[in-house]
Structure formats: structure tokens, C-alpha cells
Structure 1
Amino acid sequence: MALKQKGGEISGDTKKRRRVGFANIDTGVEANECVKVFLVKKEDEVGKTSSYCIDLVDLNHFFGEDGKIYGYKDLKINIWLSIVSFHAYAEITYKSTQDGGKGITDLKPALQSIFGESLIEKEEFLQTFSKECHYIRNIVSDGKVLHSDSLRKDDQASDIHLDAEGPTIEVICTELHNLPVGLLYSRLVPLVLLLVEGGRPIDVTDPRWEIFLVVKKMQDPSGDSIIDLLGFATVYRFYHYPDSTRLRISQILVLPPYQGQGHGRRLLEAVNSVAFSENIYDVTVEEPSDYLQYLRSCNDTLHLLAFEPIKPSISSVVSYLKEGNLSKRTSKLRFAPPANVMELVRQKLKINKKQFRRCWEVLIYLNLDTENHRCMENFRACISDRVKGDILDKNAEANGKCLIEVPNDYDHDMTFVVFWSQAGGESDGIDGKLEGDPATQEEQLSQLIDKEMEDIAEIAQKVSLLHNS
């Protein structure tokens, strides 16, 4: 980590003038205003601000109680992060320092809270490009290959085309408690903290954690194998009573330069393949981002389109929406999938019930005539009923959810069980509850329904493109 002060020494006359003047109050600077992180693959890219710069989440919580940096004039923190060894080097420059009443922020602890031991000095950082050029290749050598295909990618497009002569994309699974793999994950944690809102590291000492790595394999002109890491997913194996296992995806991240190329779907498909081959109970995702939920719903809906046993139930609902008049209904339509269908989907496709309900609405939408006004009004009425039910469930959950700690074999302080009291239940995904007077609540409800309709239409459009490609 390099510290550089711009400008020369302050003259004696200037010092005297400062003593008789009024000190400026230091209001501080937001971390995101002065911190930039660049991803680099070659030694000659280090130090160049033309390198790939990533969009960062809010970094303020790493810098003291109020999240600001104090005491520096014209502060710049440029960090180069190697996507070869995943070490980092920070260059800090400023014109001057002065205590303006809030002290001078010590930057080193804040940066180490993000990068840990992967933050190293420049000379050592530059050496990693040669010394650790095969770091990823060595890590994945003992992993299990779950998926492999050849590809050819046009540099100017995001679509990937199969090509037997191109590089190979593989998804490899390995256990995180394996020491070298755990070390790799510790170097990936900064990316989680920098790119995922609310991201936090996992406990790699627990043997139930696995990591899925999507990599690109190539050969250099000499025939030597080169492996680049494109993204990863961490997955936990939960016990499911009485004799089964549930897979939960905790983190899934594709490195920014490789996003939009289908690697997120590859990771999801690899996790699903494990669930199928081992007859896992189902697959869940821990607090998915909006985009991950979108990607997951597209993927699962695509599988459901080809699943014949659910088609009669879909046809039944679609027929009713086309022919009925729900504006005059006196009770809520039984729009949700039948219980036996949900159970069959869980058994065969490993899609959990809450996720299947989301995909169910997309499947219905795909079978509707969007130009038929009555049909779409009926569909919206069903979505309205579901949204209202979600809000009621959310309120009940807030009143009924409880946590209790339980011991385990690894770290009893970190283990707990979630349960609901009699008044509680599982939520279907609406955050928060309606507030304000009845008119305001009605407007909020209408906006929620509009958003749900837009999300369903967007997923349906993507699924149609994937299905027809």
C-alpha cells in the first residue's frame, strides 16, 4: 500500500497565516467519492486508470461510525485487484493532511477490513503475475467437473456460441474446508464486499460448504494450459428432516468483465445437476438480489415449460382466465398450483414450493393472449389477490418469527434455528407492509401490483427467447 503526498513543504509564512486565521471545519469525504477499484490481468495494467473499473456498493460502513474519511485534501485511493491471483495493491495520494476537528482517518485498517491479507505492497503485487500465473489452475485440479462446453465469443457481443475449436467453459465443484480452496475464497471475499450489497464472508471451516467455480480453459501458443476464473457460487448443505438434504445457494457472483455471457446460468444449472444426481430435497437461495431472482426464475421456468405433468393444471387456469369474469367474483380465485403438482415439481425438478409459485405465474402468462383485455384483467386480479396475501403473510411473519441458538460440531456461537409461532408462517416475498391512510395504501398496493406484472412480463419475454433459441 503506497502513500504519496503531492506538493512541497508548506512555507513558514503560510504556517503563520494559518495560526491567526479560522480553521475550516472538516466535513469529510464519502468513501465512494475517492475510492476506485480496477481489475487487472497483466502486470503492465497496474497503475493505469484505463484498466477495468468496477461499480462499487456503498463503502461508508467500512470507514468509522459516520462512514466518512477525514483529514485529507484531494484524496484518491486507487486499488488494483488481480484477477489472476486475486491479490490487491492500493495507491493512496493526497495533497495534504490536516486535523479539521475530526482527526485524520487511518486508512490502513479500513482497507484491511475489506481486503484482509490479500492487500500487499506494490513490488510483491507485481511479482504475483508471474509467480502465481497458474494459481487458479492449481486450485481446481482436484475439483469435480460438473459442466463443460466449448465456445467461441465475439468480443463485441454478449452472446456465446458453441464452437468445438474455442476455449472450454467448465463448472467445477470443490469443498471449501480444503485449505487451498479456503484460501482462494478468502481472496474472493473482497469482491463479495465490494460488489454485493450486504455481502459478508462465510465460515469456510464448516465442511458442509461447497464452492462452484466457473472457469475458462485455454492454451497459450506454447501449448500450456491457462485457466481463468469467471465466477463462483457458494452452496451449503442443510439437513432436511427426516433423511434428506437441502442445497442453499448463499452467494453467486460473476466477475464484472464476464457478466452477461451466461455464466450465472451455468452456475445455477451446475447446482441443479448436483440436486438431481444426489436426489436432494430441493434448492433454495439465501436473500437473492433482484437480478439473481430474475435469473433463477428464468432458468426454472425454462425447465418447467418442458415438464409435461403440470400442463393440464396450467391449461385449466388459463381456460378460466379466458372465459371467466373475475370482476364480479365473491371469493378469491384458486389461482395457485395444486398441492400435488407442487410436490411433483419439487421431487422431479428440485424447485422449492415458494419458487414454483413465482414461476407458475410466468407459465400462466406465457399461455395468455396479452391482447385480450378481459383475460389480462382477470390475470391482474389474481396477482392482486396474491400480493394482498403476501402482505398479510409478511405481517404475520414479523409477529411470529423466532430464533434460538443450538450447538453444533463447528461453532456453536454461529448456529441457530428459525421457527414460527402459531401466528406466523412462511412469506412469499413482499418486503414490508402498506403504510399511511386508506387512499395511500390503495395507491401503494396498485404500484406493487404494477411492479409484479412488469416483472412477470420481463421474465416471460426472456424465457421465450431462450426457449426459441
Structure 2
Amino acid sequence: MPVMAEVNFNKNAIEEYKCDANLAIQLKLVKSAEDVEDGPCFYPEMSHQVFGSSETIFGYKDPEVKMYYSASKLTTYININYKEVITPQDFDGVQPDDVLQALSKFVPPGFYTNKDAFIASLEKEKYFTPFGEKLHSYTHTTDNITRHFEIYKNTGNAPGFKAFHERLQTFLIWYVDAASFIDIDDERWMFYIIYEKVKSPCGSTFYHIVGYQTVYRYYAYPFMERPRISQVLVLPPFQKQGHGAELLQTFYTECWSNSDILDITVEDPSEDYQRVRDFVDTRNCMELESFSPENIQSGFTKEIVQEAREKFKINKNQSRRIYEIIRLKFSTTPDLLRNYRLDVKRRLHQPFQTTAKESSKLKALTSPGGGDSQISKKQKHEILEKLYNECVVSYRHILEKVAASI
């Protein structure tokens, strides 16, 4: 029987060489040589896709993993600093993580590891112009400073865009759980990219990346398309400024006039993105006749589904959400609010009915005469009440945002 080798080092000592990868990785958008040293950094929300479920970098004391991107073409610079690295001979041969190799699995080849070479490359990118067709421009003002933004559409065919997109999508691994890279050679992909447009005192114009959205054009029987929004990311320095809503509205506006599009779907939306989607759809649907105060109290009707799809390409499931949000706005009396609550709870109760049917079939097949495995009526009532209250809180937040935007 083999004997386990004795561990000679202090376990507490080895803990000193573990670091939270989300704190060690420093991301930065670099506009000039000065930004390399002084520009603000931002940090990942997650890193398990690179460094495992523990999200830990092992083998270094106080590591700094600098991942800097030029703000225009996203040319990349990676540098790793640390105070001390573990010595394998002192720790029974334990090796430090190969951080650069781990990153290289996600970052495309051609990145810089020499800071001077990276800085020299910035000069060549000064006059970068966006890929594709400009669809929309808008401004955002904070602290009396107005900034200008533009949204461009690209099908992936422009020279240089494939390499640009490969660098752009690396941000997904830090901010989108279970992110996957896409095959840009599939011509059914569409790309919508936001840039900040900056004019220098000398009159030159520069474009800096803000965020992007990918859309896949699925087939819809018999001869239409059903675009699915797949990946959406606004980079951290630009979040909570309304860019996601501008991006979505720009895509919507382009789709509305296209008779080949049946409706629009979203692939596994996060809670944050669902709120953006609800906000944009609610703001749009407020002007539709079927969503008027007079009509919406009649319930979720075929007319609502049809008008939302025909006017704004909203699918049935999403039109139901928007119906509930707008009906809440107009449920201003105790009677109207009671009817609203019953209507929403009927919808929330449907999964319980499905489960009950399935459970009854299973029980009849496996254990006739067995005990009832269903949850009690009291538990069901408590669950429905909790779900309803969560819906109302979320819906009121959407309505407040819509009111503030008008």
C-alpha cells in the first residue's frame, strides 16, 4: 500500500501565496500614454472561467495583473508584477500558477508584454474610425459635462473587424457567467457597438469603445426571421448611464421597419438586462392603443399580443410582462388593484398547476395509493404572495424610470 508523502511546509505559510483574482486583475482603457500610469482601473466581477471556482491566483504575494486595452482598437498589454513568488524547493515542489498562460487561452495572440512597445502602438491608433454603419448618435450629461456617443452596426465583414471583435469579447469572461465566444464567420451574426466620440482642442476626432451587443438572426417559419439578442456588455466605466437602453432602442428602431422580422427574443437575460428591456419596452408600449387605461383593464388579450408584435416586434412572453407593468400603473383604486393582483397571481399559479398534473401522473405510475407529495395550500399561498410582491416592486421601479425619462 503506497504511503502518502509527508508535507514538510507550514500550511499557514502557503496561504500567504493565495490571492483573490478579482482584486489582482486590473483592467484599463488607455487613451494616451499618460493613461498607462495614471488612468483609472476597473476590476472583474468574476474570474472562475480563467482561474477556477475558487477565483484564486496561487504562488505570489500581492500580485498585480495589468490588462490594459487601447480605448480605440483594443490593442492589449499584459504585465504581471508581484512582491514575491513561491519557491518550489521550499514547498515540496508546489509550483506557482502560470498566469500568462491561463490568460492566453482567452486573449488572442499579438498582445504586448512590453510597456514601451504598447505605448508606441497608441500613436498609430489615434485616428481610428469605427467599423460599419452609423445608426444613431446621442449625448449624456453629468456634472454639466456633455459627452457624445455613436452606435454602429457591423456584419463582421469589414477588414480588421474580426481581430477587433476577438479582443472585444475577452471582456465577457470577467462580466458574463458561462460566457462563450462566437463564430464571427457565421454571416447570421450582427454586431452593434457604442463608441464615445471625442473632439480634441485641435479639432481631431477620436472614437473610444463603450460597449456592444451581438444578435443572431434565427429562422422563423415560414419565411421570416426572429433575431435573438445574445451578448450585451457595457464596460464598467460607462455603466448606469443609460447606454444599454440606447443600444437596445437603436436595435429595435432598425427592426421595426423590417417586414421580414417576426419578433425579437433575448438569450437567457440577466436580471439587470431584463430591467433594461422592460424599461425600453414599457416606454414604447405606453403609446399603443391596446395598452391604454381604457383597454388594459380587460386583461391580457390577443389584441395586446398582436399590436405589440406588429408595432414593436415584441414576443408574446415579453408583451405579457409589459402588460402587467402598464396595468399596474393604471390600477389606481382598491378594486382595480385587487383585480390586478388576482390576474397576476393566476399567471404565477400556472407552474403549480403543471407540476400538480405531472406529479399526479407520476404517482399513478409509480406508487398508486401513495401519499400526497404536493406542497400544502398554505405554502403555495405564501410562495405566490412572495412572488407577487417581488413582481410589484420590480414593476414599480420600471415605472419610476419610465416616468423620469419622459
User: How does the TM-score come out when normalised to structure 2?
Assistant: 0.82
Deviation at 1:53, TM superposition (A): 2.7
Partner of 1:415: none
The one-character-per-residue Cα deviations of 1:211-255 (angstroms, maximum 9, x if unpaired) are 112223343233322222222111111111111111111112222
> Contact 1:41/1:84 (CA < 8 Å) preserved in 2?
yes
Aligned length: 377
Structure 1: any 5+ residue segments left out of the alignment? 1-20, 161-166, 321-334, 398-433
> Residue 379 in 1 paired to residue 360 in 2?
no
Partner of 2:193: 213
Deviation at 1:365, TM superposition (A): 0.9
> Contact 1:47/1:80 (CA < 8 Å) preserved in 2?
no
Q: Which amino acid letter does the alignment assign opposite residue 315 of structure 1? A: E
Partner of 1:90: 79
> Residue 281 in 1 paired to residue 262 in 2?
yes
> Contact 2:290/2:303 (CA < 8 Å) preserved in 1?
no
> Residue 261 in 1 paired to residue 264 in 2?
no
| 1:261-340 equivalent positions in 2, closer than 5 A | 261-279=241-259, 280-311=261-292, 315-318=294-297, 335=299, 337-340=300-303
Partner of 1:203: 183
> Residue 106 in 1 paired to residue 98 in 2?
yes
Partner of 1:388: 349
Identity fraction in percent: 26
Deviation at 1:393, TM superposition (A): 6.0
Deviation at 1:286, TM superposition (A): 1.1
CA distance in structure 2 between the aligned counterparts of 1:215 and 1:83, rounded to whole angstroms: 9
CA distance in structure 2 between the aligned counterparts of 1:105 and 1:395, rounded to whole angstroms: 51
> Residue 344 in 1 paired to residue 307 in 2?
yes
CA 1:178–1:456 in structure 2 vs 1: closer, same or farther (change >3 Å)?
same
CA distance in structure 1 between the aligned counterparts of 2:354 and 2:398, rounded to whole angstroms: 24
> Contact 2:290/2:296 (CA < 8 Å) preserved in 1?
no
Deviation at 1:67, TM superposition (A): 4.6
CA 1:34–1:168 in structure 2 vs 1: closer, same or farther (change >3 Å)?
closer
Partner of 1:63: 51
Partner of 1:453: 392
Q: Which amino acid letter does the alignment assign opposite residue 79 of structure 2? A: A
| 1:132-147 equivalent positions in 2, closer than 5 A | 132-135=125-128, 137=129, 139-140=130-131, 143-147=132-136
Partner of 2:203: 223
Question: Aligned with 2:304: secondary structure?
Answer: helix
Deviation at 1:446, TM superposition (A): 3.0
CA distance in structure 2 between the aligned counterparts of 1:96 and 1:267, rounded to whole angstroms: 44
CA distance in structure 1 between the aligned counterparts of 2:384 and 2:95, rounded to whole angstroms: 48
Structure 2: any 5+ residue segments left out of the alignment? 1-6, 359-372
The one-character-per-residue Cα deviations of 1:169-190 (angstroms, maximum 9, x if unpaired) are 3221111244411211111112
User: Which deviates further from its counterpart, 109-118 or 60-69?
Assistant: 60-69
The one-character-per-residue Cα deviations of 1:84-142 (angstroms, maximum 9, x if unpaired) are 3312322321313134465321111212233232632122221222112233x1x42xx
Deviation at 1:31, TM superposition (A): 2.0
CA 1:261–1:34 in structure 2 vs 1: closer, same or farther (change >3 Å)?
closer
> Residue 127 in 1 paired to residue 120 in 2?
yes
> Contact 1:60/1:67 (CA < 8 Å) preserved in 2?
yes
Question: Aligned with 2:28: secondary structure?
Answer: strand
Q: Which amino acid letter does the alignment assign opposite residue 85 of structure 2? A: S
Deviation at 1:451, TM superposition (A): 1.1
> Residue 80 in 1 paired to residue 41 in 2?
no
> Residue 45 in 1 paired to residue 35 in 2?
yes
Aligned Cα root-mean-square deviation (Å) = 3.0
Q: Which amino acid letter does the alignment assign opposite residue 23 of structure 1? A: F
Q: Which amino acid letter does the alignment assign opposite residue 87 of structure 2? A: Q
CA distance in structure 2 between the aligned counterparts of 1:297 and 1:344, rounded to whole angstroms: 17
The one-character-per-residue Cα deviations of 1:313-343 (angstroms, maximum 9, x if unpaired) are x52553x7xxxxxxxxxxxxxx4x2124312
> Contact 1:238/1:245 (CA < 8 Å) preserved in 2?
yes
